[in-house]
Chains A and B, each alone.
Chain A
Amino acid sequence: METQNNVNSLLRKLQTKYGDTFSFDQVAIEKEVDIQSSQFSNLAVKILSVIGGFLGSLFFLGFLLALGMYDTPAVALVLGVILIIVALGIDRNETSTLLDTISISNFLIGGFLIGFGLEEQLGGNDNYIALVSMMVATISFFLAKGFMLRLICMLIFNGCWLYIIVDNGINSAFHFQLIFLLAGFLYLSFYEAKLISKNIFWNLVYKPLHAGFLLSLSFVLFLLANSWKVEVYFFNSWISAVVIFLANLFVVYKIIKGLKLSDGKNKMWIYGLSVFVFLPTFLMPSIGGAILVLLTSYHIGHRVGIALGMIGLVYFGMQFYYDLNLTLFTKSIILMVSGVVFLSAYFFYNITFTDDLVKNKELN
């Protein structure tokens, strides 16, 4: 009831503000709010449904293999298609949160079975299988309705794309995937209002798309910093470094614009300091990426993104200094000097900006 009341007071407020130009479908809104609150799904529930879906499908695949499914690819293919259709059918049902686990496991089992079924026909070529998976994921993304299944489709799509890049040894293309993910993540984050008001489709796919881009981008940043440990080298890292640097400046620009800072001098300071802070990320672009995720997510108040950004920053930061080929002594000097720089920046900030911002705030 409480949520319903909150929505009603929001609607009344909007009506007084915009008058007759604001029209809305009260019945549909109330119904949707009702469904949302009965479908309650927080992070814990989402994680549970993924664990359940994944474990369940793993054991069920064991069962199918023990049954000798790999001897009959045609049966596997048909069964796979049926399972995916069932998964989508369940997902389109309005009470899908409860059945998320079932639809996720059906979907994953179905996907694997289609893979089995096609393997022989495609001459065991992994590329084709990855392409087919991408196609299935794309179609399912449009047909699905629930958050989790759409998110999983996104992850499968990006995962297969990455697989194709690495499997074919076109490693430099990796940076273009990173740019794609970065651009998508930024666009979704900074144009949320525009996208959700575009039409019902965009409004509905916004959240899973955003989560999918966030998770894929985080994973790709992790790879960028760690792939060499498993002897996968993404050459030409400068492409990612430059793009992440520019993207970070764009983030700062958008944030400043959103805050409506009026003082030109302040803005110059902020840009100057930003360039100064982001320049060293050329040494380790993943750190710049983590900062980007952190800043963007903090701006739009997305808690999972903030947590991922912070974890990334700490992890990549530690890794950078750990892998750095210098003596402990040199490292210690660099670290201490950076520490002093940050602390000075803190005191400088406290003296210079706090008063200004407080004054502006009062003026607003």
Chain B
Amino acid sequence: MEKPKINRTLLHIVSRFSNWQAADIETSFRENDIYANQNDWSKFIKTFLMSLGIAFFVSGVIFFFAYNWASLHKFIKLGLVQVLLIAMVGVAVFSKLNKNVKGIILMGAGMLVGAMFAVFGQIYQTGANAYDFFFGWTVFIALWVFVSNFGPMWLLFLALINISIWQYFEQVLGRVDEMIMLDLFFVINMLYLISLKLLAHFGKINSVPRWLERIIVLVSVSYLTFNFSVQIFDFQSMSMLTFGLALVALPLGIYYGKQQKDTFFIATIGLSIILIILSFLIKSVFEGGEGLGGFFIISIYVIVSISGLIFSIVNLNKQWHGDTK
């Protein structure tokens, strides 16, 4: 029989209405895996030491090259990074370490690729922030990202894609409208997430970690909300693109959240819509010179709309998990 799921809240409730002794409650916290056991700690220590080790070492290497030691020959500089790179990838590929630890090592190697391109730029004066630097970095870690299928690695890859495109627009196309940039980032990040989900769906990669999905959604929706709100305040620049994106993406997101029975989507997108309407209200109310009434209407709007959103989240949760009688 599957172990019944007992969480902290339930133990608190039982303790509230019983004469359960403290020592026995403590045992129950352990037995129900709420407190960490020896295995959990062993995992913790391993991940902790490995992450710190790689993080410190790789930042040390990056600092070392940033120092730009003049008397070090350029071949030695490039050689050093490459030897380290090969060593780390070698450990990740050939050792018998567990998957997470290998992921951390590859992540470190991914950062070193960046250091390598930076050293190259330093030596040959191509600049350390040129878009092709980030583009090269993105391309050359792509394979590891797919193979390792490690959450933080997917995030690094997405960040690099965003930075490369941003730098390309800035440096090659000259100054581009920020509104369009934000729209573009929104589309790219969403497409990235959708591709990840599809890859996972067809069994090409393991499932997408929830935290990764949430970070991408949170950042993308923030882009869209910010972009839309700014445009509302400055009507001349109102772009149909942003409007269209919001009109399509936000309802789709809510639909997806309902399909997945995940209240996170409802909360994030609901708040986004509330904030967009809030911008519209602020703009129209204060432009009409309605200072006194405006404040009143807006405060009521905020409280009522957010309470409504919470109400619907609670209700949806009730429908999905039917936890009440």
Contacts and interface: CB of A to CB of B under 8 A. Distances in A.
Nearest to B18: A24
Contacts, number: 271
Interface string A165-191: 000000000000000000000000000
A339 B56 contact: yes
Contacts of B24: 14, 18
A333 to B, nearest CB: 7
Interface string A3-19: 11111011100100010
B4 A105 contact: no
Contacts of A346: 46, 49-50, 53
A193 B28 CA distance: 9
A271 interface: no
A264 B166 CA distance: 57
Interface in B286-325: 291-292, 295-296, 298-300, 302-303, 305-307, 309-311, 313-314, 317-318, 321-325
B60 A48 contact: no
Interface stretch (B37-45, B188-196, B197-205): B37-45
A100 B38 contact: no
A149 to B, nearest CB: 15
A60 B295 contact: yes
B36 A301 contact: yes
B271 interface: yes
B15 to A, nearest CB: 5
B221 to A, nearest CB: 13
A337 B309 CA distance: 52
Nearest to A195: B22
A51 interface: yes
Contact of A3 (B53, B55, B323): B323
A152 to B, nearest CB: 16
Contact of B302 (A9, A55, A97, A328): A55
Given A6-B10, A48-B267, A59-B298, A338 B56 contact: yes
A4 B21 CA distance: 22
B299 to A, nearest CB: 4
A232 interface: no
Contacts of B35: 258, 299-301
B292 A1 contact: no
B44 A298 contact: yes
Interface residues of A, number: 98
B13 A29 contact: yes
A7 B20 CA distance: 14
B325 A339 contact: no
B267 A339 contact: no
A57 B299 contact: yes
A39 B25 contact: no
A56 B33 CA distance: 40
B268 to A, nearest CB: 8
B145 to A, nearest CB: 21
A interface SS class = helix
Interface in B1-16: 4-6, 8-16
B199 to A, nearest CB: 27
B169 interface: no
Contacts of B264: 44
A343 B314 contact: no
Q: For A24, A206, A321, which residue has the most chain B Cβ atoms within 10 angstroms?
A: A24
A325 B325 CA distance: 64
B241 interface: no
Interface string B216-231: 0000000000000000
A63 B295 contact: yes
Nearest to A295: B44
A40 B49 contact: no
A98 B308 CA distance: 8
Interface in A12-60: 14, 18, 21-25, 28-29, 32-34, 36-42, 44-45, 47-49, 51-53, 55-60
A333 B60 contact: yes
B13 to A, nearest CB: 5
A28 B18 CA distance: 10
Contact of A48 (B19, B271, B292): B271
B317 A51 contact: no
A63 B299 contact: yes
B9 to A, nearest CB: 6
Interface stretch (B63-71, B133-141, B147-155, B243-251): B63-71
A84 to B, nearest CB: 16
B22 A357 contact: no
A127 B5 CA distance: 49
B126 interface: no
A24 B295 contact: no
B59 interface: yes
Contacts of A105: 299, 303
Interface stretch (A196-204, A218-226, A236-244): A196-204
Contacts of A39: 314
A332 interface: yes
Contacts of A204: 16
B26 A193 contact: yes
A300 B25 CA distance: 13
B122 interface: no
Contacts of A298: 36, 40, 44
A113 to B, nearest CB: 14
Contacts of A342: 49-50, 52-53, 56-57
Interface in B48-105: 49-50, 52-64, 66-67, 69
A102 B303 contact: yes
Nearest to B282: A59
7 contacts: A22-B18, A37-B323, A55-B302, A56-B303, A59-B302, A332-B62, A349-B46
Given A29-B18, A45-B313, A192-B29, 12 more contacts: A24-B19, A25-B17, A40-B314, A40-B318, A45-B267, A47-B267, A63-B299, A98-B310, A101-B303, A343-B50, A357-B38, A357-B39
Interface of A: 1-7, 9-11, 14, 18, 21-25, 28-29, 32-34, 36-42, 44-45, 47-49, 51-53, 55-60, 62-63, 66-67, 97-102, 105, 192-194, 196-197, 200, 203-204, 206-207, 255, 258-259, 261, 298-301, 321, 327-329, 331-343, 345-346, 349-350, 353-354, 357, 360-361
